Amino acid sequence: MIAVALDTAGAPAVRDFIRPASIEMPALLKDIMGWDDAALARAGVPTYPCLIDQKHITGELYQFINVPMVVWIDENGRIVRPTEPAGVMDGVRSLDPTTFTMPKDVVEEGKRQRREYIEAIRDWVNKGDKSIYVLSRDEARRRSPRPDAQDALASANFRLGEFLFEIGKRDDALVYFAEARRLRPESWSYKRQTWELEQAGKAAGPEFFAEVMALGDKHYYEPVELRPRSSG
Amino acid sequence: MAVTLIYGDLAPRSVNADPQGDNLWLNSADLRSATGWELKPEGVCKGDVCVPIPPTRSVEFVRDGGNSFNLAAFGRLMGQPVLHDDKNAVWMFGESAESRDNTLASLEAPDFGLPDLDGRMHRLSDYRGKKVLLAAWASW
């Protein structure tokens, strides 16, 4: 695995986040993710490359419009499962932000989907292109994100904002961050990253939950079709 | 005047240029070092690719007898998003949607280089020969 942190604040923010002593996860999150104290301790000393993507370069290349999202890439550098949510579901829609609790049936479904996704990854690791979870080229193309001109303009605005933020022009940067959000409202990566740069904690604050609750029929995480539609 | 040019995936760099509204005129001699593109008789070229300048619109792209080139006009011709922040003298040339879309449709995982927590650079291509689960997350 290669983990990429889409963090404009850079390595200090990431390092501070994954320090074992700083990992005070809500009980609900630990329950859903299956994280016990041992797992959290291991998180602070990863055995795989953990990269820092301040400019959201991989976000643009692979269209990571939310996190966590994953791409499966085979030994030949071919995408066998394009960008999709990483074994997560829309449980956040059922979250009570004041108590940080969720209906039990939603919690259990979240656990089930996470377990199922991990098993799919294991199946691929063991079986390679024989895995039923490896998509045909046609299916992979069908599921691939298709950025359009507005998405490209949003990305350019984010990149310009990120550069200005890096050189200390915070207020000027915020203008471009706002434009990136306006151009690509479905990108939670742009929303939450730029909110956090505006004000620490804003990415998980009242504004975030208000926008999640206002999704209506839309998804926070698009459902994952774990198995291919056809055997072809 | 000096402007900061952010061109695609290249590192930001300072270049001498003449910004005129939504147009950015570069010395043709600086064009290659700044972007990799080069002005030739057959058009604007990078490697084996040459893009002809529309014959009826050459004044939009070239002036001063070919010594000055309008990078912004060329970017728009190529479908690139072109932005400029005049207050800070920064010009941003993004990747075109067509280019990004074509890459994803090819199913060839686009390469990239990023540092790890200790500052060591890693490229995706370093891991060719292994399965890679590329996982995006964030501290926010």
SS (H, E, C) chain A: CEEEECCCCCHHHHHHHHCHHHCCCCHHHHHHHCCCHHHHHHHCCCCCCEEECCCCHHHHHHCCCCCCEEEEECCCCEEEEEEEECCCCHHHHHCECCCCECCHHHHHHHHHHHHHHHHHHHHHHHHHHHCCCCCCHHHHHHHCCCCCHHHHHHHHHHHHHHHHHHCCCHHHHHHHHHHHHHHCCCCHHHHHHHHHHHCCCHHHCHHHHHHHHCCCCCCCCCCCCCCCCCCC
- CB–CB contact A153 B81 (8 Å): yes
Nearest CA in chain B to A157: B83
Helix/strand/coil for B57: helix
Q: Are A196 and A174 in contact (CB under 8 A)?
A: no
The pLDDT tens digits for B74-103 are 999 999 999 999 999 999 999 999 999 999
pLDDT level of residue A22 (50, 70, 90 thresholds) = low
The pLDDT tens digits for A37-85 are 777 777 667 889 999 999 999 999 999 999 999 999 999 999 999 999 9
Residues of A in contact with B115 (CB under 8 A): 11, 51-52
B134 vs A70, A78, A193: nearest CB? A70
| A204–B contact, CB cutoff 8 A | yes
Average pLDDT for A192-211: 91
The pLDDT tens digits for A112-168 are 998 999 999 999 999 999 999 999 999 999 999 999 999 999 999 999 999 999 999
Instruction: Spell out the residues 6+ positions from residue A215 whose beta carbon is closer than 8 angstroms to its own.
Output: A93
| A146–B contact, CB cutoff 8 A | yes
pLDDT confidence of residue A94: 85
Residue B10 identity (one-letter amino acid): L
What residue has token string 């002593």? A21
Residues of A in contact with B139 (CB under 8 A): 5, 7, 9, 13-14, 16-18
Q: Which of A208-212, B38-42, B124-128 has the highest mean pLDDT?
A: B124-128
- CB–CB contact B100 A147 (8 Å): yes
Nearest CA in chain A to B140: A203
Compare B72 and A206 and report the one with higher pLDDT: B72
The pLDDT tens digits for A173-182 are 999 999 999 9
Could you tell me the CA-to-CA distances from A145 to A65, A140, A158, B30, B40 in Å, in that order? 10, 10, 19, 36, 36
Size of interface A-B (CB pairs under 8 A): 197
Cα of A104 to nearest chain B Cα, Å: 25
pTM comes to 0.91
Q: Which of A 52-81 lie inside 8 A of B, CB atoms?
A: 52-53, 57-64, 67-79
pLDDT confidence of residue A228: 67
The pLDDT tens digits for A213-224 are 899 889 999 999
Domain boundaries, chain A: 3-143, 149-213
- CB–CB contact A78 B4 (8 Å): no
Residue A232 token pair: 């072809």
**Measured between alpha carbons, how far apart are the two ends of chain A, in Å?**
27
